[in-house]
Chain A
Amino acid sequence: MQIFYTDVLCIGAGLAGERVAVEAAMAGFETICLSIVPPRRSHSSAAQGGMQAALGNAIMGDGDSPDIHFQDTVKGSDWGADQEVARIFADTAPIVMREVAHWGVPWNRVVAGTHTYYKGGKPFEAEEKKEKHGLIHARAFGGTAKWRTCYTADGTGRSVLNTLDSKCLQYGVTIHDRTQAEILIHDGENCLGCIARCMRTGELRAYFATATLIATGGYGRCYSATTNAVICDGGGQICALDTGLVPMGNMEAVQFHPTGTVPTDILVTEGCRGDGGTLLDVNEHRFMPDYEPEKAELASRDVVSRRMTEHMRKGLGVKSPYGDHLWLDIRHLGVKHITTKLREVYDICTNFLGVNPIDQLIPVRPTQHYSMGGVRTNRDGAAYGLKGLYAAGEAACWDMHGFNRLGGNSLAETVVAGRYIGKQIVKYLKGASVNFTSAALRDAETKLNERIEDIVSGRKGGENALELRAEMRETMMENVFIFRNGKDLQKAVDTLEELHDRANRIALQSNIPGFNPEMSTALRLQGMIKLCQCTAYGALQRTESRGAHTREDFPERNDKDWLNRTLAYWKEGSNMPTLKYEDASPYYELPPGERGYGGGKIIPNELPKKKFEVPKESLENLKEAKSKG
């Protein structure tokens, strides 16, 4: 087996992975990124809308500040977020947006003078200030008090990814694309890298690294209807969970996006609603103001998704061969706006739906979109349980999103966390000395080879990986979707446990020399089922409704019992996760309260006074995060 040695190993080369890689490489450390696809094909490339940062340049963002951004983020999270992390995020986001601008991102800019914008289908006028001309502009997104989302038309992910990938090239980051991490190498205390499979040849390779980062995105492909790319199968989380030492945080927190298209489940950006698009029902009636008079289409995603589902349950959805859906109307925005600022949307509608959004309605319904949960890390992005292991981006539960993240906050998180965590990794590397033991490598290799042998030889049984995958996805769609209840969740937990057991007996249908795509699925599947089990079991235990986690049988947000984060561990040889809990936040700069949208009752918690004080150490850390160093 070929062995590579490096200072930093980034598993995943989307925005978060590449931003960390750039930080490490700029500090002079050798860095390797592993990626299933060439980096520019990462799922980050599909992000359309934009990145939230309180620059306050746009007139509709006038007076914005990191404080307001922090408050919106915590409210959006339904107080599930780690407030120290949300604070680091909100305060450094403007710096990071300027930094990527310096590196080449062509952000849309403020044009002085009057322009027309739409809200709730009606035109309004705004006048941009002369002194802000040429600075980074922003658009509206859901759940925000100000226009705060920096954007490049509706190709923000693409343009930022191009820039970061360029930076990787410039600073000599080594990219091993078509390489899939399969198992972490560790000695029980330190993470030492991973063993990966080459997707060109099928060969295994070992990567020894002083610091290992997991940045593999979400696990949306556990659901049958998801906006996620086909590579979003939770590979990184699985590697971490399989160690038995690293917990997943808040896996039950899964976000459903209001505007997945029907039938292809491709996302059309929240920018559509931000720019003034409206949601209509079968009678072409705009229903959102009936439920949310103030925020309407721009309440947070969990709220809009639930209201849409509620409305369809009343029989007001549009019937189609693919099930009920609603309409998204952007016709009033006009040809120019749609073909420039929403061109990706225009392309998606015309290419995939046969709908021209300039004069036709777009069929949409809530679709699985984002995993707030993931590898649980501390403030510095360091994973619980193993030293030298880090996680960033959607793969992580750094936890600025809590139980619901706001649109534009995840894309911003990738680069903001990437920069901040990258700096923490550099600090760690400067003091680290790691022993790359052959015993640790052998241990991982034996485990992985055994798994591969089982699958190739079929010695444990003849289960078909693709069939199991379909059953897993259906179980999640039916029982762990937007509205949840004890009965369905229990059913999911039971079914998934069965699938877990059957996944031990997967056999290949055909074995071919070299790389075999079926092998990728087969190797992945039990891990995916484990992630589903963490999600379903965590959701069953959490007897309250918070953010995107909505229990019909427990409609209150219960701060008294559930102002906490679920940690799901997987003990070796077990059929089920083990759950533990920790406080949602080390302190509450913003005391738990109402979000101002979505309604719902709150069962309050009497927190000790000390919980409302920001520790000195946190303030100092924040100061350092904003400095040049």
Chain B
Amino acid sequence: MNRKLHLKVFRYNPDDPKSQPRMESFHITEYDSMTLFIALTQIRDEMDPTLKVDFCCRAGICGSCGMVINGRPGLACHTQTKDLPNEITLHPLPVFKLLGDLSVDTGTWFRGVGTKIESWVHSNDAAFDPADEEMRMENEVAEQIFELDRCIECGCCIAACGTARMREDFLGAASINRIARFYIDPRDQRSEDDYYDVIGNDQGVFGCMGLLGCEDVCPKHIPLQDQLGIMRRMLTLNSVKGILPKAVINALKHKGCCHEKH
């Protein structure tokens, strides 16, 4: 017990012309229930207050502290040191702009794709009547939407994505998951053609190489690959709807798919 941990942390300050990217070593004593949040906070409080690293909720709910932990993207706050070897190597997430050390700019990135995919429920706001009861919804549908709405935009899926590493304009699993969330939402009035315009291309579902890294690293265990598959099938069927008979399309649409439009 009480191992000595050796943390090798990526350091670079882009605002300092003299700064060179390098790995820096910190040694701390492990104790029970220690997480990387506790370890890094201790380093910052006691050894180097200039260390740039993002934390907010420290409870795996906000998604601030995504980083590459021994080669694998994950959340620092809910990674327990007891699950790691003595030597722990920490890098910032790739793809996103580096702000310094372990801190990257996920905010700007997600806002950008949010705008691109028009990440909101497309409905008529003026139709809301405060005196009226709410639109009814099946609880099962609500639960399905929430299942996808649990995404915390930590960026781990993007960092683990082969396509995102190769092409800057790839929307990534988190964005496709969000589209899937709107697609199953009965309040969203967008048609399949509308969705096609947004993700029916190489930046969207057809750019995915199927490496499955996104789902492997998702800290919230969101079924990202299922969503990609469902969206691909929806778009493919939509693009052949004038060619194949309606009955065939409908049969295929429902085959094994729990996420068809309600």
Find residues 328-371 in chain A having any chain B CB closer than 8 Å to their own CB. Answer: 340, 344, 347-348, 351-354
| A46 B52 Cβ-Cβ under 8 A | no
Please give me the residue from chain B that is nearest to A354 by CB atom: B33
| A40 B115 Cβ-Cβ under 8 A | no
Find residues 258-278 in chain A having any chain B CB closer than 8 Å to their own CB. Answer: 263-264, 266-267
CA gap between A40 and B108 in the complex, in Å:
12
For B49, list chain A residues within 8 Å (CB): 466, 509-510, 516-518, 521
Given known A45-B57, A108-B143, contact A353–B33 (CB-CB < 8 A): yes
A112 vs chain B, min Cβ distance (A):
10
| B33 A515 Cβ-Cβ under 8 A | no
| B111 A108 Cβ-Cβ under 8 A | no
For B152, list chain A residues within 8 Å (CB): 40-41, 45, 158
CA gap between A3 and B187 in the complex, in Å:
40
Find residues 509-546 in chain A having any chain B CB closer than 8 Å to their own CB. Answer: 509-510, 512-518, 521
CA gap between A169 and B175 in the complex, in Å:
15
Please give me the residue from chain B that is nearest to A101 by CB atom: B134
Q: B114 at the A/B interface (Cβ < 8 Å)?
A: yes
Neighbour of A352 across the interface among B13, B59, B111, CB < 8 A = B59
| A106 B149 Cβ-Cβ under 8 A | yes
Total A-B contacts with CB atoms under 8 angstroms apart: 206
CA gap between A158 and B149 in the complex, in Å:
8
Q: Interface digits, A166-200 against B, CB 8 Å rule (1 contact, 0 not)? A: 11011000010110000000000000000000001
| B60 A514 Cβ-Cβ under 8 A | no
| A110 B33 Cβ-Cβ under 8 A | no
Residue total for B at the interface (Cβ-Cβ under 8 A): 68
Q: B106 at the A/B interface (Cβ < 8 Å)?
A: yes
Find residues 89-108 in chain A having any chain B CB closer than 8 Å to their own CB. Answer: 95, 97-99, 101-104, 106-108
| A626 B130 Cβ-Cβ under 8 A | yes
| B125 A229 Cβ-Cβ under 8 A | no
Q: B139 at the A/B interface (Cβ < 8 Å)?
A: yes
Q: A549 at the A/B interface (Cβ < 8 Å)?
A: no
CA gap between A95 and B13 in the complex, in Å:
49
| A169 B62 Cβ-Cβ under 8 A | no
Neighbour of A266 across the interface among B59, B119, B153, B187, CB < 8 A = B59
| A46 B107 Cβ-Cβ under 8 A | no
B110 vs chain A, min Cβ distance (A):
7
Given known A95-B130, A106-B146, A466-B45, contact A344–B61 (CB-CB < 8 A): yes
For B118, list chain A residues within 8 Å (CB): 170
Q: A452 at the A/B interface (Cβ < 8 Å)?
A: no
| A515 B100 Cβ-Cβ under 8 A | yes
Which of B108, B119, B120, B188 has the largest count of A CB atoms less than 10 A from its CB? Answer: B120
Query: Which listed segment binds B: A62-70, A133-141, A292-300?
Result: A133-141
For B194, list chain A residues within 8 Å (CB): none
| A41 B63 Cβ-Cβ under 8 A | yes
| B130 A229 Cβ-Cβ under 8 A | no
Q: A410 at the A/B interface (Cβ < 8 Å)?
A: no
Please give me the residue from chain B that is nearest to A464 by CB atom: B49
Neighbour of A46 across the interface among B45, B62, B188, CB < 8 A = B62
Q: B136 at the A/B interface (Cβ < 8 Å)?
A: yes
Please give me the residue from chain B that is nearest to A629 by CB atom: B130
For B139, list chain A residues within 8 Å (CB): 108-111, 134, 137
Please give me the residue from chain B that is nearest to A514 by CB atom: B15
Given known A169-B111, A200-B105, contact A106–B143 (CB-CB < 8 A): yes
For A466, list chain B residues within 8 Å (CB): 45, 49
For A267, list chain B residues within 8 Å (CB): 59
For A263, list chain B residues within 8 Å (CB): 32-33
Q: A231 at the A/B interface (Cβ < 8 Å)?
A: yes
CA gap between A625 and B102 in the complex, in Å:
47
Please give me the residue from chain A that is nearest to B35 by CB atom: A352
Q: Interface digits, B87-120 against A, CB 8 Å rule (1 contact, 0 not)? A: 0000000000001100001111011001100111
Find residues 33-55 in chain B having any chain A CB closer than 8 Å to their own CB. Answer: 33, 35, 44-45, 48-52, 54-55
| A37 B146 Cβ-Cβ under 8 A | no
B37 vs chain A, min Cβ distance (A):
9
| B136 A135 Cβ-Cβ under 8 A | yes
Please give me the residue from chain B that is nearest to A261 by CB atom: B59
Given known A98-B133, A321-B32, A514-B100, contact A106–B145 (CB-CB < 8 A): yes
Q: A421 at the A/B interface (Cβ < 8 Å)?
A: no
Please give me the residue from chain A that is nearest to B187 by CB atom: A104
Please give me the residue from chain A that is nearest to B124 by CB atom: A102
Q: A485 at the A/B interface (Cβ < 8 Å)?
A: no
Q: B121 at the A/B interface (Cβ < 8 Å)?
A: yes
Q: A38 at the A/B interface (Cβ < 8 Å)?
A: yes
Please give me the residue from chain A that is nearest to B110 by CB atom: A38
CA gap between A516 and B49 in the complex, in Å:
8
Given known A103-B121, A169-B114, contact A41–B60 (CB-CB < 8 A): no
| A517 B134 Cβ-Cβ under 8 A | no
CA gap between A119 and B129 in the complex, in Å:
36
CA gap between A354 and B82 in the complex, in Å:
11
| A40 B125 Cβ-Cβ under 8 A | no
| A134 B137 Cβ-Cβ under 8 A | yes
Q: A153 at the A/B interface (Cβ < 8 Å)?
A: yes
Q: B225 at the A/B interface (Cβ < 8 Å)?
A: no
Q: B27 at the A/B interface (Cβ < 8 Å)?
A: no
| A515 B15 Cβ-Cβ under 8 A | yes
B206 vs chain A, min Cβ distance (A):
25
Given known A40-B153, A352-B35, contact A200–B59 (CB-CB < 8 A): no
Q: A6 at the A/B interface (Cβ < 8 Å)?
A: no
Please give me the residue from chain A that is nearest to B182 by CB atom: A104
Q: B163 at the A/B interface (Cβ < 8 Å)?
A: no
Q: A162 at the A/B interface (Cβ < 8 Å)?
A: yes
A180 vs chain B, min Cβ distance (A):
13
Find residues 45-91 in chain B having any chain A CB closer than 8 Å to their own CB. Answer: 45, 48-52, 54-64, 78, 80
Given known A103-B121, A202-B15, A348-B60, contact A155–B146 (CB-CB < 8 A): yes
Given known A155-B150, A200-B99, contact A135–B133 (CB-CB < 8 A): yes
CA gap between A479 and B156 in the complex, in Å:
42
Please give me the residue from chain A that is nearest to B120 by CB atom: A166
Q: Interface digits, A228-248 against B, CB 8 Å rule (1 contact, 0 not)? A: 011100000000000000000
| B15 A178 Cβ-Cβ under 8 A | no
| A43 B107 Cβ-Cβ under 8 A | no
For A40, list chain B residues within 8 Å (CB): 62-63, 110, 152-153
Q: B215 at the A/B interface (Cβ < 8 Å)?
A: no
A269 vs chain B, min Cβ distance (A):
11
CA gap between A155 and B115 in the complex, in Å:
24
Q: A116 at the A/B interface (Cβ < 8 Å)?
A: no
Q: Can you spell out 29 A-B residue pairs with CB atoms less than 8 angstroms apart?
A: A37-B56, A37-B64, A38-B106, A41-B64, A41-B107, A43-B62, A101-B135, A102-B123, A102-B127, A103-B123, A104-B188, A106-B143, A109-B136, A109-B142, A133-B136, A135-B133, A153-B143, A153-B146, A155-B146, A158-B152, A166-B114, A166-B121, A229-B56, A230-B57, A266-B58, A352-B35, A510-B50, A515-B52, A517-B50
Given contacts A158-B152, A510-B50, A628-B131, 7 further A-B pairs with CB under 8 A are A37-B107, A40-B153, A137-B139, A169-B111, A230-B56, A263-B33, A266-B58
- Which 3 residue pairs across A and B have the least CB separation, nearest first? A514-B15, A134-B136, A38-B107
